Every structure is written in C-alpha cells, then in structure tokens.
Amino acid sequence: MDFQVITDNFNFLMLQGFVGFGSFAGGTLRLAVPAIVLGFLLGTMIGLARLARSRWLSIPAKIYVEFFRGVPLVMVIFWFWFIIPTLLGRSLPEYGVALTAFVVFEAAYLAEIIRAGIQSVPRGQVEAATATGLTRASLMRHIILPQAVRNMIPALVTQFIVLLKDTSLASIIGYVDLTKAAQIVNNREIRPFELYLFIAVVYWLCSYAMSSYARRWERAAG
Amino acid sequence: MNYQFDWSVLWSGQTGAWLWHGFLVTLELSALGWLVAVALGVVSGALRTVPLAPLRWLAAAYVEFFRNVPLLVWMFFWYFGMPPLLPAGLREWLLDHSAEFWAGVCALGVYHGARFSEVIRSGIHSIPKTQLEAALSTGLTMLQAYRLVLIPIALRLIVPPTTNETLNLVKNSSVALTIGVAEITFQTRQIETYTARAFEALAAGTLIYLALCLAIATLMGRVERRVAIPGMIARGHSGEA
C-alpha cells in the first residue's frame, strides 16, 4: 500500500472532483447542492399536490411518486442522457443531464417525506387554525409547514445524504465528480485500493458531518 | 419531436434474448446479494442491541462506515481494489469465473447489510423488554434468547421496512453495470448501442423494473399478512433509497 498517490493527486481529486473547480465540468458538491435545493422545491410541490383536494392534482402526483420509486436511478440518468437530445434536437452537457435526472428522481422521495411530515401535524391544529379564520394558504404557511418541517428533519437529512451518495452515479455519463476523478487518477496510476478507500473516507466524512449536524439541530429545535 | 417508434427491435434478432438474460442476471445478483445482506444485517443488527459495549461498537462501526459511502464506490472497491490483495491462485480463479458478478454480490450484500442492520435493530428495540427478561428467567442463555426468542419475533415485525429495503436492493443492483455485470440496465444500453433505439430499449428496461418491483411488493405483502403478530408492529425506520 502506498498512499503517496493520494497526496500527489490531492488537488485534482478534491478541487476538481469534490468541489468542481478545474478544467472539467464536474464536482460532487457542484451537483449535490443545487440538486438538493431544486429537488426539495419540486418535492414540496409534488408532496402538496398529493394532499390536494382536487383529484386532478393528487392522482398525477401519486403516479409520479410511485413511478419514480419503482425505477433505478441509473435508468433515470440514462433516460435523460439519451432522450433529451432526441427531444431537443441537440445534446445537453453532462451537468445539465445529471442535475435534471437527480432533481426529477429525488423529488419523488422527498415528496413522500414532505407528505408524511404534513400528515403528522395533529388534526386539531388545522381545525383550530381554520376556526380562527385563516385561509388555506396561510394555514399551510403559518401553521402546518413550520411544524411539519420540524418533524421531517431526520428523514430529510437522511435523504440528502442519500442524494449526496447518489451523485457518484453521475460518473457513468462522464461527469467528473469525486468518483470519476478517482477513476481518472487510477487509470494513470493503477492504485485502486488506495484511491477507492480514500474517496470512501471522503464520502463518509460528508455523510457523518451532515448527520451529526442534523442531530444537533434536532436537539436544538426539539 | 419527430421520432419514429419501432418497437419490433425489442423482439427481433438477439435483443429479446439479451433482455431475458439481463433479467435473469438481475434476479441472481439481487437474490445472492439479498442473502448476504440479510445475514450480515441480522448479525450486526442483533449485536447493536446486546449488553456488551465492544460488540455494539463493532457493529455500529460496520453500519456507519458501509452505509455512508456510495454503493458505486463499493462496487469499484470490491472489483478493482480487492483482487490485487488476494492470493494469486484465488485471483486467477475469480477472473475466470466472472469476478465482476461476485464483486457485485459483495458490494450489494455488504452495503445493504448495513442498511438491513438498522431495520433489524429497530425491530429488536420494538420488542417489549419483558420478552428478553422472561426468556432469560426461563434459563435460556443470552445467545439462546436472541436466537430463539428475540430474532424470530423481530423478523416477523420488520416485514414492511424489509420490503422497502428489498426493493432498494433490486433497484440498486443496476449500479453493477458500472463494473460490467450484464444485468438489465447493461442489456438495455447494449440494445441502444446496437439498434440506436434509445426510447424503446429504455422503456423495456423501465417496465421490467416496475414489474419486478410490483411483483416483489405483492409477494411481500402476502408474507406480511401471514407472519404478522396481532397487535405488534415495528416502529420507525423505513423509506429512503
């Protein structure tokens, strides 16, 4: 074992692969952070649509969630990779394809978490708020969502960690994230054990940081 | 969009056979991975609840490390990283006997084992403490109490989250295409490469996964009804891929 390969290629692995500064379109964080934000927005809309009174909203939302939860992410990435060029008549960069695939896919999982969170708010709260004369929109914004978000935090953070780990799959369409960067270095140096162990530790540190931060936050909010 | 659909590519020539073969490989890979995962999950999940701290730490270290690293990285690790460390004879043998398949089984089994572990642990925690006390007071040793009382009850309680995890495992078996295991997603890409019919190939692969997931969910639903213990359900933990 020889960990020299890590120190020699540290800048490429971390700056290019992990953060996304460099000559390639890439970066685990550059993909994961917008995917989390946009996926959360789309997931909130779909989660709310599932709870809507109108069937025209709730049934399509249910189909969306059930469909994407029954298909592997790898498959979804390939759809966008092959089908967007056919639809648009031109190809999209890897970053656009990967980001679209992650937002669309993760939104289905996030929607379920958001729906469960909203349903966990006691019925009496809704009735009391309605009785004081709040409209449905302000009931959602001022009464339900603040309580629901608190209940969702553990599941949301778990899902964000899943998303961060899933971004490694963007490497299969050539996006230079941390995993792809390790592959590129490995092709030159042939040090698979050291390199893959190193990126495993990097992913682990991120997940660990996220989950322990969430635990602290939960206790503070609790 | 002016795309001419031609669904016949799915059954003409070799493509039908490719899809069928891919389906079988997905089933084999998932089934073997599932066995490894459940075995590791039961052992490590049970160890996380025993009253002996070093064993708990060991199990917790396994779960925390393997669960928090992407499956893809584990695939690469087992396929590229492990073989150079093995004795030469075993390495040669593996390379002749589809090493990528076994690396895939290891990666799926160890990664999902860590996730099953959490399910089992929550199952054991949801059993009233009196069960263990009663088991010990009848003269069973701790090992017997786990083997004969706690684990059998826990396994019956955790069918719903296990269904979820099983579906995740089947879907995650698609990641094995990155190390060259010829499962459904791999075959779907192969059809796309040979026929340039992306839409049809991906639709076929997608439908196979949906059907497979539906079949497993239905089957597990039956199992759940059969083994349910009236008045007891496992709390917490489920969801997420």
Q: Answer whether B77 touches A (CB < 8 Å).
A: yes
The C-alpha of B29 sits at a distance from chain A's nearest C-alpha, in angstroms, of 15
Q: Shortest CB distance from B175 goes to which of A71, A74, A109?
A: A74
The C-alpha of A134 sits at a distance from chain B's nearest C-alpha, in angstroms, of 33
Q: Is the pLDDT of residue B239 over 80?
A: no
Q: How far apart are CA B185 and CA B26, in angstroms?
A: 9
For the full predicted model, state whether its pTM sits above 0.90.
no
- Tokens 């490497």 -> residue: A171
Are A87 and A95 in contact, with CB atoms under 8 Å apart? Answer: no
For the residues B140-151, what does the mean pLDDT come to?
92
Q: Is the pLDDT of residue B89 over 90?
A: no
Q: Is the pLDDT of residue A77 over 70?
A: yes
For the residues B65-91, what does the mean pLDDT come to?
89
Give me the residues paired with residue A176 across strands: A26
How high is the ipTM of this complex? 0.86
Whether residue A72 and residue B174 make contact (CB cut-off 8 A), yes or no, is yes
The backbone region for A174, taken as left when phi is positive above 0, alpha when psi lies in -120 to 50, beta otherwise, is left
Residue type (1 letter), B36: V
Q: What is the pLDDT of residue B235?
A: 44
Helix (H, G, I), strand (E, B) or coil at A176: strand
The C-alpha of A182 sits at a distance from chain B's nearest C-alpha, in angstroms, of 10
The C-alpha of A109 sits at a distance from chain B's nearest C-alpha, in angstroms, of 7
- DSSP conformation letters of B82-134: SGGGS-HHHHHHHHHS-HHHHHHHHHHHHHHHHHHHHHHHHHHHTS-HHHHHH
For residue range B162-213, list pLDDT tens digits in order: 999 999 999 999 999 999 999 999 999 998 888 888 888 899 999 999 999 9
Measured CA distances, B52 to B47, B49, B56, B58 (Å):
9, 8, 7, 11
Side-chain-side CA neighbours of residue A82 (13 Å): 21
Q: Is the pLDDT of residue B133 over 80?
A: yes
Q: Is the pLDDT of residue B232 over 80?
A: no
Band of pLDDT at residue B92, cut at 50, 70 and 90: confident
Size of interface A-B (CB pairs under 8 A): 127
Cβ neighbors of B6 (< 8 A, separation 6 or more) are B197, B200
Of residues A140, A154, A130, the one with CA closest to residue A218: A154
Of residues A96, A110, A128, A134, the one with CA closest to residue A36: A110
For the residues A37-48, what does the mean pLDDT come to?
95
Which range, of A139-148, A179-188, B102-111, B145-154, averages the lowest pLDDT? A139-148
Q: Is the pLDDT of residue B240 over 50?
A: no
For the residues A49-60, what does the mean pLDDT come to?
92
Q: Is the pLDDT of residue A140 over 60?
A: yes
For residue range A119-139, list pLDDT tens digits in order: 888 888 888 988 999 988 888
User: Across chain B, what does the average pLDDT equal?
Assistant: 89
**B229 or A179, greater pLDDT:** A179
Are B114 and B67 in contact, with CB atoms under 8 Å apart? Answer: yes
Burial B49-64 (b: 16+ CB within 10 A, else e): beeeeeeeeebeebbe
For the residues B145-170, what does the mean pLDDT come to?
92
DSSP state of A17: I
Are B169 and B68 in contact, with CB atoms under 8 Å apart? Answer: no
Measured CA distances, B241 to A112, B64, B164 (Å):
12, 16, 8
Structural domains of chain B, ranges and CATH numbers in brackets: 24-184 (1.10.3720.10)
Helix pair angle (A55-69, A94-119), 10° resolution: 120
Q: How far apart are CA B20 and CA B184, in angstroms?
A: 8
Whether residue A75 and residue B70 make contact (CB cut-off 8 A), yes or no, is no
Domain boundaries, chain A: 4-221
Residues of A in contact with B85 (CB under 8 A): 193
**A159 or A222, greater pLDDT:** A159
Burial A116-129 (b: 16+ CB within 10 A, else e): bbbeebeeeebeeb
Are B220 and B213 in contact, with CB atoms under 8 Å apart? Answer: no
Q: How many helices (H) and strands (E) does chain A have?
A: 11, 0
Q: Is the pLDDT of residue A196 over 50?
A: yes
Whether residue B192 and residue A82 make contact (CB cut-off 8 A), yes or no, is yes
CATH architecture for the domain at A4-221: Orthogonal Bundle (1.10)
